[in-house]
Amino acid sequence: MKPPPSRAGAFKYGPRPGTFVAGRGDLAERLQCGPEGGAVRAVGTAGVEAALGAWNAVMFEIKKICCIGAGYVGGPTCSVIAQMCPEIRVTVVDVNESRINAWNSPTLPIYEPGLKEVVEACRGKNLFFSTNIDDAIKEADLVFISVNTPTKTFGMGKGRAADLKYIEACARRIVQNSHGYKIVTEKSTVPVRAAESIRQIFDANTKPNLNLQVLSNPEFLAEGTAIKDLKNPDRVLIGGDETPEGQRAVQALCAVYQHWVPKERILTTNTWSSELSKLAANAFLAQRISSINSISALCEATGADVEEVATAIGMDQRIGNKFLKASVGFGGSCFQKDVLNLVYLCEALNLPEVAHYWQQVIDINDYQRRRFASRIIDGLFNTVTDKKIAILGFAFKKDTGDTRESSSIYISKYLMDEGAHLHIYDPKVPREQIVVDLSHPGVSEDDQVSQLVTISKDPYEACDGAHAVVICTEWDMFKELDYERIHKKMLKPAFIFDGRRVLDGLHQELQTIGFQIETIGKKVSSKRFPYAPSGEIPKFSLQDPPNKKPRV
């Protein structure tokens, strides 16, 4: 039934049955028909406003969720949502069949403390993992996009800009398989205005009986504590359009989180602010790590202890003590990618000074890795050629099996370039993953990995006959090793290079055993073996385009 025209503005049919558009000058607001199919009639401006308010007050209830992407964000996030919202059916989909099979098996594809218990409690009840992407999209009220957004390695913006090809592919697949009303939400870390790109694809492919709302809901979880962060978040951020329909979608997603998150911790913003807040948050955290790492270099030159300095400045409430742990450098999927994305955004918006400022965060991180590798080479009498070096830890941090942008990859590359034989041990990273990471075209050449790298089953095997032990990940188990047993089977002098400060409380004991200890941000040994300083290690980034094509 077509509603009669009013004096305030004529009604015309909207983009789907049961929807009309009220035209009042430049204002066009969609009005939903009543449950019996009758039109909402608005007489005069006040009537239009009242009808809009009544329509917007009707809460859209989310009963089925589809998450595209079964990785480190999508898998844990949707598992927790399923546990906290037993009345909502959650389906996680992915094109990678082996990954989905792993999610449906006793051995999950990722390691995260507490994740297995959550999955096993919900899987098969209201939590499902599938490769049937199209059907999951069709049935869902809410679709999360949680796919990878890697940094571009070629073309415009290479080395800085995010590659949104997977986001675009998701948007096209969603609009192809959707009908009726659906909320589409960015979960992936995306550049500012990515939601606008998704919306343009939706608008260009619109069809009758289709209304897609786009939200931004960035994830702030930290790997290693993801389940804890998801169940007790500092905040949940939801960004959407500042229109009645946009706000209705925002409130629908808020209702999902309000099952377990206090209302005051749920922040709603416009889409721009939500997207930029994610980049800014990771940039600030990375900045703090680079700041304390820069001070660690100064501490080593002066005799100060960076841990004592960090404690002193961290007691200032204006600064706080979080993220002031000096190390061999930050890694993971987000920090470097998001800072580089921020740099590219500033360059694109003609803010070169701001771009240069944030680029320094990445430069200090690269410097810290090269500096640590140089200390290893210099400490071993300026040569590591044909020497066995034990690498303890390959994940980018403890309590995760994620190796993306891990400092261990960079340290291993620098040592392989010098001809060192590496024996690598990590309690959670599979052998296959280590080999894949070190076989990256930018990391090694030809058969370098097969000739120089051995994956060890336990730390004692890795250290047997080694010239040096290099700790690259702060696994708690490394504090509890029998170092007297390790020392007996190492070549003398035996070196320990602690890139994570995990052995701070054992220095006296280790020196008594006979170890030569080098650590970040502190001079431990009063007497060091003389060496001739080596040349500077060249810069390297996994984001750089490879010098040769990868072998298929």
Q: Which amino acid is at 521?
A: G
Report whether 398 contacts 474 (CB < 8 A).
yes
Mean pLDDT, rounded, for 41-47? 47
Would you state the structure tokens that stand for residue 276, as one six-digit string?
């930029």
Structure tokens at 298: 């100064």
Return the pLDDT at 58.
Answer: 63
Please tell me the least confidently modeled range out of 12-21, 65-74, 87-96. 12-21
Helix (H) or strand (E) holding 447: none
Note the pLDDT tens digit of each residue in 498-530: 999 999 999 999 999 999 999 999 988 655 544
Q: What is the Cα gyration radius of the chain? A: 27
Residue of 355, 3, 27 whose CA lies nearest to 160: 355
With a cut of 70, say whether residue 546 has pLDDT above it. no
**What's residue 22's pLDDT?**
34
How are beta strands 27-32 and 19-24 bridged, if at all? Answer: antiparallel
41-79: b or e for each residue (b if 16 or more CB lie within 10 Å)? ebeeeebbeebbeebbeeebebebbbbbbbbbbbbbbbb
- Please tell me which residue in 78, 85, 334, 463 is annotated as part of the active site: 334
| Active-site choice (112, 219, 307, 418) | 219
**Torsion, Cα of 444, 450, 451, 456 (10° steps):** 110
Instruction: Report helix, strand or coil for 248.
Output: helix
The rounded distance, in Å, linking the Cα atoms of 509 and 180 is 68
Question: pLDDT higher for 31 or 213?
Answer: 213
Per DSSP, helices labelled H in 418-494 are 431-438, 448-452, 459-463, 483-489
| 44: three-class secondary structure by DSSP | helix
Mean pLDDT to the nearest integer, 386-407 = 96
Nearest to 194 by CA among 275, 268, 267: 275
Alpha-carbon gap, residue 6 to 47, rounded angstroms:
10
Q: Is 219 annotated as catalytic?
A: yes
Kindly report, residue by residue over 204-232, the tens digit of the pLDDT.
Answer: 998 888 999 999 999 998 999 999 999 99
- pLDDT bucket at 550, cuts 50 / 70 / 90: very low
Tokens 């680079």, located at residue: 290
Confirm if 519 and 504 have CB atoms less than 8 A apart. yes
**What separation in angstroms does the CA of 113 have from each of 118, 230, 458, 541?**
10, 12, 21, 30
**Average pLDDT over every residue of 69-81:** 96
For residue 139, indicate whether it is catalytic: no
Give DSSP secondary structure letters for 297-320: HHHHHHT--HHHHHHHHHTSTTT-
Closest-CA residue to 396 (of 385, 386, 407, 388): 407
- Which range has the worst mean pLDDT, 15-24, 141-150, 365-374, 450-459? 15-24
Q: How far apart are CA 264 and CA 344, in angstroms?
A: 34
Among candidates 446, 445, 372, 382, which has minimal Cα distance to 410? Answer: 372
- Asked if the peptide bond before residue 493 counts as cis, ω within 30 degrees of 0, the response is yes
In this prediction, residue 534 carries a pLDDT of 47
**First vs last C-alpha separation in the chain:** 60
Residue 67: what pLDDT? 98
The partner residues of 268 in beta bridges, in order of sequence, read 238
Q: Is 461 a catalytic residue?
A: no
Please state the rounded mean pLDDT for residues 478-492: 97
Task: Say if CB 29 and CB 52 are below 8 A apart.
Answer: yes
Reduced to 3 states (helix: H, G, I; strand: E, B; else coil), residue 96 is coil
Span 422-445, pLDDT tens digits: 999 999 999 999 999 999 998 998
| Residue 46: predicted pLDDT | 52
State the residue for tokens 């990995």: 449
Q: What is the pTM of this model?
A: 0.84
Q: In this predicted model, what pLDDT tens digit does every residue of 357-394 receive, in sequence order?
A: 999 999 999 999 999 999 999 999 999 999 999 999 99
Asked if 426 and 432 count as a contact pair (C-beta separation under 8 A), the reply is: no
Which residue in 278, 337, 387, 398 is the catalytic one?
278
User: Look-up: residue for tokens 């047997």?
Assistant: 464
Torsion of CA 238, 242, 245, 248, to 10 degrees: 40
